[in-house]
Amino acid sequence: MTEFRILGPVEVHDGRTGRRVVPSGTKQRTLLAALVVEAGRTLTVDRLTDELWGDEPPQRAANAVQAHVARLRRMLSDSGDGDWISTEPMGYLLRLGNATTDAQRFQRLSAEGRAAASTNPAHATELLERALAVWRGPALQDCLRGPLCAAEAERFEEHRLATLEKLYETRLHETRLHETRMDETRLRSAPLDDVTGELERLTYEHPLRERFYDLSMVALCLAGRPAEALGVYERARKVLLHMLGVEPGPALRARMEATIRHSPFAGLGTPPPPRGLAHDASGGTPNGTPGGISEVAALLDLGGTVARLRERVDELSREQGTLLRRIDELAAAADGGTQSREYGGAARRTRTARNSLAGQESGPVITRPMPPAA
């Protein structure tokens, strides 16, 4: 089966023969990538022009697009799989037919892994690892970064990082669930050391993703290194204050508080009873203690959701800062101009709008309420 690949260098792979077809030239790769991400939908000539040439289109853009499409058609037909690209009244359309894309394969494996996390962490780990193995490099590698490809590359990268977070959640989850069946020496074994090292690397590669700090703290606590876990929190706090002017969000602060109280696994749920111990109809153990993998998964997933919401709040805070600076510029322009009644009124209205948006004349650090202690 033919697979169009965009999670890495753009290419077409023939599953029957193993042959790879790689478009020559950046514009050919960009054209194929744009058609693949919009497969089944018509891409207008104007959108393709923007994608291939940006603000400097050729004089006869429609003819130039047509020439590039013709070249791409010949390349794909040479692969022996027929004519993939249709000419539509407004533009061009790629029909996948029986073909697939590596993006579809990644999304399917990622979704299956997430679904399995609550009932079978080992299988979920395998699925999530397979999903991430689909990637051969940055999405839409070696393509021009027009509006469409840039947005899609960013979306795919966010999905990859979310899947990576879920993979480490599941691994730590599985380790925690096996804690009741393992002695302390085995729990702090080489595989767990590998996880702590990998998560530390990820916190440096993605310094604004709080979920990686959170998971790193959990891994260090599982390895019996709570002091280092608190060091991770302090490093995260300094990075966020320096780069964004904000304190860590509720999930990360809650992890720090739990670590100080010597209960670092708060929010990870209660491990299920050893295999063979029956559960009653309410989902608890016979002595009434709640347990089960699903509870652990739900709480871990909640932590990830909180972290993502926190990132959205940070994004909105940055947008607010940009708007406040623009308002200050407008106010300064009004104050510096002719002090007529019109300009004076404009300056006053601008300052009023700024004060309403800022809410208070505090410093740049935005803090959020500390969650109640458990």
Confidence grade of residue 28 (pLDDT, cut at 50, 70, 90): very high
pTM over 0.75: no
Residue 336: per-residue pLDDT: 58
Mean pLDDT for 342-366 is: 46
Question: CA-CA distance, 92 to 66, in Å (whole number)?
Answer: 9
pLDDT in tens, 158-209: 999 999 999 999 998 888 766 545 544 444 444 677 899 999 999 999 999 9
Average pLDDT, the chain: 78
Say how many C-beta atoms besides its own lie within 10 A of residue 16's C-beta. Answer: 9
First to last CA, the chain: 54
- Whole-angstrom CA distances from 156 to 27, 150, 291 are 21, 10, 35
Residue 14: per-residue pLDDT: 86
**28-37, 116-125, 238-247: least confident range:** 116-125
27, amino acid identity:
K
pLDDT in tens, 216-274: 999 999 888 999 999 999 999 999 999 999 999 999 999 999 999 887 666 553 333 33
Strand arrangement of the beta sheet that strand 91-94 belongs to: 43-44, 91-94, 85-87
Residue 77: per-residue pLDDT: 82
- What is the DSSP track for 63-116? HHHHHHHHHHHHHHHHTTS---EEE-SSEEEE--TT-EEHHHHHHHHHHHHHHH
Confidence grade of residue 16 (pLDDT, cut at 50, 70, 90): confident
- Contacts of residue 118, Cβ cutoff 8 Å, sequence gap at least 6: 293, 294, 297, 298
Say how many C-beta atoms besides its own lie within 10 A of residue 1's C-beta. Answer: 10
DSSP state of 284: B
Confidence grade of residue 331 (pLDDT, cut at 50, 70, 90): low
- The neighbouring-strand residues paired with 21 are 12
- The token pair at 100 is 């697939």
pLDDT in tens, 285-320: 333 333 333 443 444 455 555 555 656 665 666 666
Computed over its alpha carbons, how large is the radius of gyration of the chain?
27
Regarding predicted confidence, which is higher, 282 or 351? 351
**Are 23 and 75 contacting, i.e. CB atoms less than 8 angstroms apart?**
yes
